[in-house]
């Protein structure tokens, strides 16, 4: 299977499958039909069968999917069967909120270092780490095998910081700055922006 | 203009337009072409013209858009020309991170009350508020004119809390719990989930 053969919209849905299957497993369900899975995910059974068909045959017609097997396979496909190491850039209020976010580590995403461009922040403590200067980025990324950069700097600095990360071979960017940075093709960026979510909500609430 | 006539995918893009136009205005740009706007937003000029056509004619062929006018109109369309009041439900680590998030209030989204279902949390201080019991929800929502509920409770409690909010006429839900809650048609929900973003990223990083 080649990553480029799978539509991105399918890849974006796979984590939802993983979450639903984990809940089914924890609830003691051994086999699930595409109908049941569809009803959990608010999708049609046909869409689910089509999505999964990109990765081979997981179920037999009329027999449903083995929950544990499908979960294990999808976790492997997504690369969730290993630990991923991330660094945080920017230790202001937002950076503190991120380092205290309880959801990353149980899912295998481990923040292992924190950086800041402000000399006054360098050397301070955050979430058990000593904040490093940006000049240490290249060495730290290599030494600690960091592949994901979590960006929590002000909007005006985000593009520069992201380019710096990419130059140092960090190919996954989780961006919390309220901008849409430009990145090269072989980089994967995801933007987290609750304000954008609220701003599209108010259209319906007026 | 009726909300139901505009595809949701267009509504989801409007806040990106607002952000780009704000940046152009702050940079001193008075008029912008759909080409320039497209290049900023990584969209085609045709797509931009089509999106804006749902709301009337904003520019004349070949003359581009007046930045301030278009910005003001889009903010009004989205309902961003007023303040929106929100309450936070759940004051654990995630709730603390949300209340300290610096991005909401400059954009007109104001958290005005915090609640928790745990009697041990009720009465404690968070972000300048005294945490209220869930039994105060109905009265507080009415009194403080709250229209958005920010949900930061554990996954297992999210559906119940969201139903409680909806019963009390809170029709906008910003959900940080790692679940996909079911809501009635006339409710607007947005899910914020950095772990889902990371889990679809690792597919490409393997």
Could you tell me if A85 lies within 8 Å of chain B, comparing CB atoms?
no
Beta-bridged to residue A32, according to DSSP, are A65
Which range has the worst mean pLDDT, B25-34, B35-44, B195-204? Answer: B35-44
Could you tell me if B195 lies within 8 Å of chain A, comparing CB atoms?
yes
CATH architecture label of B3-77 = Orthogonal Bundle (1.10)
Confidence category of residue A4, pLDDT binned at 50, 70, 90: low
Delimit the domains of chain A by residue range: 3-77, 84-197
Confidence category of residue A185, pLDDT binned at 50, 70, 90: confident
Which range has the worst mean pLDDT, A132-136, B56-60, B167-171, B201-205? Answer: B56-60
Q: Give me the total of CB pairs closer than 8 Å, taking one residue from chain A and one from chain B.
A: 177
Confidence category of residue A77, pLDDT binned at 50, 70, 90: very high
The token pair at B51 is 């999106």
Could you tell me if B83 lies within 8 Å of chain A, comparing CB atoms?
no
> Which residue in the set A97, A109, A178 is minimally distant from B100, CB to CB?
A97
Spatial distance between the Cα atoms of B74 and B71, rounded to a whole number of angstroms:
5
Could you tell me if B196 lies within 8 Å of chain A, comparing CB atoms?
yes
What is B84-197's CATH superfamily?
Answer: NAD(P)-binding Rossmann-like Domain (3.40.50.720)
- Predicted local distance difference test score (pLDDT) of residue B41: 84
Mean per-residue pLDDT, A76-89: 96
pLDDT exceeds 80 at position B57: no
Confidence category of residue A6, pLDDT binned at 50, 70, 90: confident
CA distance B175 to chain A (A): 10
- Predicted local distance difference test score (pLDDT) of residue B131: 98
Confidence category of residue B3, pLDDT binned at 50, 70, 90: low
Residue B201, Cα to own-chain centre: how many angstroms?
23
Could you tell me if A110 lies within 8 Å of chain B, comparing CB atoms?
no
The token pair at A32 is 């699930």
DSSP E strand boundaries for chain B: 31-32, 59-60, 64-66, 84-89, 109-116, 125-126, 129-130, 132-133, 148-151, 172-175, 188-191
Cross-chain Cβ contact B195/A107 below 8 Å: yes
Domains B3-77 and B84-197 belong to one CATH topology: no
- Alpha-carbon distances, residue B172 vs A167, B14, B18, B76, B149 (angstroms): 41, 18, 20, 18, 6
Cross-chain Cβ contact A199/B14 below 8 Å: yes
pLDDT in tens, B116-164: 999 999 999 998 999 999 999 999 999 999 999 999 998 889 999 999 9
Give chain A positions within 8 Å (CB) of B194: 101, 103-104, 174, 190, 192
Confidence category of residue A108, pLDDT binned at 50, 70, 90: very high
Give the DSSP per-residue string, B142-179.
Answer: HHTT--EEEE-S-HHHHHHHHHHHHHTT--EEEE-SSS
Q: What global pTM score does this model have?
A: 0.80
CA distance B200 to chain A (A): 5
Cross-chain Cβ contact B201/A93 below 8 Å: no
Could you tell me if A196 lies within 8 Å of chain B, comparing CB atoms?
yes
pLDDT in tens, B63-86: 889 999 999 999 999 999 999 999
Give chain B positions within 8 Å (CB) of A16: 180, 196
pLDDT exceeds 90 at position A103: no
- Predicted local distance difference test score (pLDDT) of residue A201: 95
pLDDT exceeds 70 at position A76: yes
Report the residue of chain A nearest B100, measured CA to CA. A93
Mean per-residue pLDDT, B175-189: 89
Arithmetic mean of pLDDT over chain B: 91
Could you tell me if B14 lies within 8 Å of chain A, comparing CB atoms?
yes
Could you tell me if B43 lies within 8 Å of chain A, comparing CB atoms?
no
Mean per-residue pLDDT, B31-42: 89
Confidence category of residue A32, pLDDT binned at 50, 70, 90: very high
pLDDT exceeds 80 at position A2: no
The token pair at A19 is 């979450």
Is there a contact between A116 and A152 (Cβ–Cβ < 8 Å)?
no
Give chain B positions within 8 Å (CB) of A178: 19, 103
Spatial distance between the Cα atoms of B114 and B35, rounded to a whole number of angstroms:
44
Cross-chain Cβ contact A94/B104 below 8 Å: no
Report the residue of chain A nearest B97, measured CA to CA. A97
Beta-bridged to residue B125, according to DSSP, are B130
Could you tell me if B172 lies within 8 Å of chain A, comparing CB atoms?
yes
Mean per-residue pLDDT, B42-57: 88
pLDDT exceeds 70 at position A3: no
């Amino acid at each position: 299977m080649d990553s480029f053969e799978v539509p991105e919209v399918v890849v974006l849905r796979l984590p939802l499958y993983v979450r639903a299957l984990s809940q089914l497993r924890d609830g003691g369900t051994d086999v699930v039909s595409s109908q049941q899975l569809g009803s959990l995910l608010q999708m049609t059974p046909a869409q689910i069968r089509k999505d999964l068909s990109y990765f081979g045959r997981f179920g037999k017609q009329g027999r449903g999917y083995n929950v544990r097997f499908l979960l294990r396979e999808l976790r492997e496909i997504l690369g969730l069967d290993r630990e991923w190491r991330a660094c945080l850039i920017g230790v202001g209020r937002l950076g503190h909120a991120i380092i205290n976010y309880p959801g990353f580590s149980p899912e295998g995403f481990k923040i292992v270092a924190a950086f800041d461009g402000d000399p006054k922040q360098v050397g301070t403590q955050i979430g058990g780490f000593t904040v490093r200067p940006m000049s240490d980025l290249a060495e730290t990324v290599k030494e600690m095998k960091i592949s994901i950069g979590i960006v929590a700097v002000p909007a005006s600095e985000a593009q520069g910081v992201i380019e710096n990360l990419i130059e140092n071979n960090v190919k996954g960017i989780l961006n919390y700055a309220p901008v849409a940075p430009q990145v090269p093709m072989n980089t994967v960026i995801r933007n987290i922006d609750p304000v954008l979510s609220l701003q599209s909500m108010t259209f319906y609430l007026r």
